[in-house]
Each structure stands twice: as C-alpha cells, then as structure tokens.
Structure 1
Amino acid sequence: MRDMVLSLAVIGILVGAIYIFIPHDESADAARSAVKRVDYRVELITARRTAPYAVAAPEGLPKTWRATSVSYKASDDGKGGAWHLGMLDPEQEYAAVEQSDGLPRKFIKDVTLGAAKAAGKQAVGSKKWDRYQGDKYRALVREESGVTTVVTGTAPYGRLADLAAALVAKKG
C-alpha cells in the first residue's frame, strides 16, 4: 500500500510540473485568436464582376471587425446568385452580409435561420431597413430593385446597423 501511495504522489508531482511548465492560455485573447481572419478582397472582386447586381461590402469599419468567412455562389440561370461575408464584431458576436437576386422570401428565411419580420424599422443613414427577429439570429433587411441585402447574426441591432452603414455596393 505504501509503494502505491508513493507512486501516485510521484505521478501527481510530475503532472503538476507539466501543467505549470507547458504553456496554455485560457484568456479572452486566446478565444479571439481561435477564429482566423480571412482576406476577402479576391472573392469580392470576383463577385462584383460576376453578379448581376451591385455587391455590397463594408468600407471603413474599424480593425476590431474581423472577416471570418466569404463566398459567392453564382446560379446556373443567372438568377439567385448569393454573396456572403461573415464577420465577428468588436464584442465577438457574429454578423454577416448576405445578398441575392433570388426570391426574397426564401432567401431571407434561409440566411436568418427562419427569423420573422419584427415591428419597427432600423434607421441606417438615410434609409430604413426592416427588422427581423428569430430564435438564433436577428437581421436588418433591405429589398431593392433586383437584389435583397440582409445583415444578420447574433450581434445586437445597433452593431448590425453599424455594419449596414459601412456597406458600399459596387458593380465590377
């Protein structure tokens, strides 16, 4: 019995020493660096050349906003192409820019994970955006001639509005 206790004590000391001397970071900075920043410039240029609508992307956002995902999927028939730019806001909440020239109702439902139109509008610059609220996501939606733009995510409406205000739509 004595040898077993001594063996466990030696193993405990070794495990403690390994824990102390092996670097590990459980801080908020470690969580922030876990999601990698992506450069979306090439995809944006490609989408602006390919899409039949002016593709919106943020300009002038602070560096604390980080792009984390990007895609453009063209449709075979020239209708329904979809632009996506996912980001983390300064508080590490998700926000995304979604655009399509497809059927607005289906597109909005898909990118907002089923959010429903809420009461009131959100002022973004001189424009009014519709508010949507769901179980997981909230969204700001603007339907214009030929394109639907959705700014959606877990971020609060104020930060979604900040992202929407920074959007600049261009055709390439």
Structure 2
Amino acid sequence: MSSNASSRGNPAIGDIIRSVVVIGAVVVALYGIGQLFTSDPETNVKTVDYVSVVEQARPAATFALAAPTGLPQGWRATSARFQENGWHLGVLTDTDDYVGLEQLRGTNERAVDRFAQDSKSVGTADVAGQVWNVRSGPDGRWTYLRNEDGLTTLVNTSASRAVLEDYIASLSTS
C-alpha cells in the first residue's frame, strides 16, 4: 500500500472551508448580477392623465361625475375608467397609499359588496357639507360612501381618514 492515501470521502477541514468560500462567492456574484437587472417596482407604476378622461367623460355621463380638482404634490393617477353607468379613478399618494373613487348606479350595499368587502360600519362623517357613511375594513382600510338619487359614490383607501377626507373635499362635479 502506498503512503499517499486519498482523502476522498473524508476531506480535510481546509478543503471544506475553501469549498464554502467558493460557493459563497458564486452566490454573492449571482445576487449582484440579479440586482443590476432588477428594476424598482415603484418606477413600474404607470400613470394616466385622468383630467383628459374626465373632460371626455363628463359630457357623456348621465350622472354628476366626481373627480378631484387636482392632486397633491407627489400623488399620481394610476387608473381612470368611464362606463355608461360608472366611473373609477385610482390614485397613489406620495406615500404609495391607494385611494380609489367609484361611482356606480345602485345601492350602497352593492358597492360595499364589490369594493369594500369585510368592512364594518362605524358611523358617519360630515365632509365638505355632505354626510358620508364610514366603514372600517381589514388592514386599516377606510371606506366612505354615500348614495344620492340612486348613484353611489364610494371612496376607499389604505391611508388615514384625514387623507381620505381631504381627498373627498377636493372632489368636484364641474
């Protein structure tokens, strides 16, 4: 037998350490390369020109279409849709909280079923001279809604009530 015995099956601690270092370096390099090709999700949010949608929709609307007179600095509209019996405007605040405005023909219950499931009524609030039903939902979501002449207006958010009430106060139908 030769005195140069193979260490296969029983590696020395130095061999183990070298292998771990090489594998670690490969993992770190792959992570770094992945970061170069990964975009920030915030930059992928597409914005829409809701003002032009409102200008086109108001003459065709059979209801008083509500929209903010302007958005605060850093806010951006991400969706705006008008249909014969409904209107939707989705915006993100400067802190990336969502605010959704829905107007649709029908009852408050129908609107809650569609846009504020699992929310609970917590009373009313007077915002800009109008009484709104207030609902609290999962994950701290707030929903304000009112029905006038068969048109339900619902506004919900992941932001605070104060932010939501300021947004509602900015809504105009003209």
Aligned to 1:104: 108
CA contact (8 A) 2:103 2:151 kept: yes
1:125 pairs with 128, 144, 150, which one? 128
**Cα distance, 1:20 vs structure 2:** 5.0
Match of 1:152 in 2: 156
Backbone CA RMSD of aligned residues: 2.9
Code of the residue aligned with 2:62 in structure 1: it is: P
- Tell me how far 1:5 sits from its aligned partner: 8.0
Q: CA separation in 1, counterparts of 2:17 and 2:159?
A: 53
- Asked if the contact 1:96–1:151 (Cα under 8 Å) also holds between the matched residues in 2, the reply is yes
Alignment partner, residue 165 of structure 1: 169
TM-score (norm 2): 0.73
1:135 aligns with 2:138: yes
Computing the radius of gyration from Cα coordinates, the structure with the larger value is 2
Give 1:145 shift: 2.5
In the TM superposition, 1:16-27 aligns within 5 A as 16=28, 20=32, 24=36
String of CA shifts for 1:115-160, please: whole Å, max 9, x gaps: 23212x2232222321012225321112223422111122221111
SS of structure 1 residue aligned to 2:138: coil
Query: Which ranges in structure 1 are unaligned for 5 or more consecutive residues?
Result: 75-80
Deviating more after overlay: 30-39 vs 85-94: 30-39
The residue that corresponds to 1:41 in the other structure is 51
The 8 Å contact of residues 118 and 137 in structure 2, kept in 1 or not, is answered as yes
Deviation at 1:112, TM superposition (A): 1.6
Q: Which has the higher contact order (CA 8 A, sep 6+)?
A: 1
Contact kept, 8 Å, 1:89 with 1:159, in 2: the verdict is: no
Task: Structure 2: give runs of 5+ residues left out of the alignment.
Answer: 1-10
Please give the TM-score of this superposition, normalised by the length of structure 1: 0.74
Q: What is the number of equivalent residue pairs in this alignment?
A: 160
Tell me whether 40-49 or 51-60 shows the greater mean CA deviation: 40-49
- CA offsets 1:78-100 (integer angstroms, 9 cap, x no match): xxx11110111122111111111
> Percent identical across equivalent pairs?
32
Instruction: Indicate how the Cα distance of structure 1 residues 105 and 17 shifts in structure 2: closer, same or farther if over 3 A, else same.
Output: closer
**What SS is found at the alignment partner of 1:70?**
strand
CA–CA distance in 2 between the matches of 1:134 and 1:9?
50
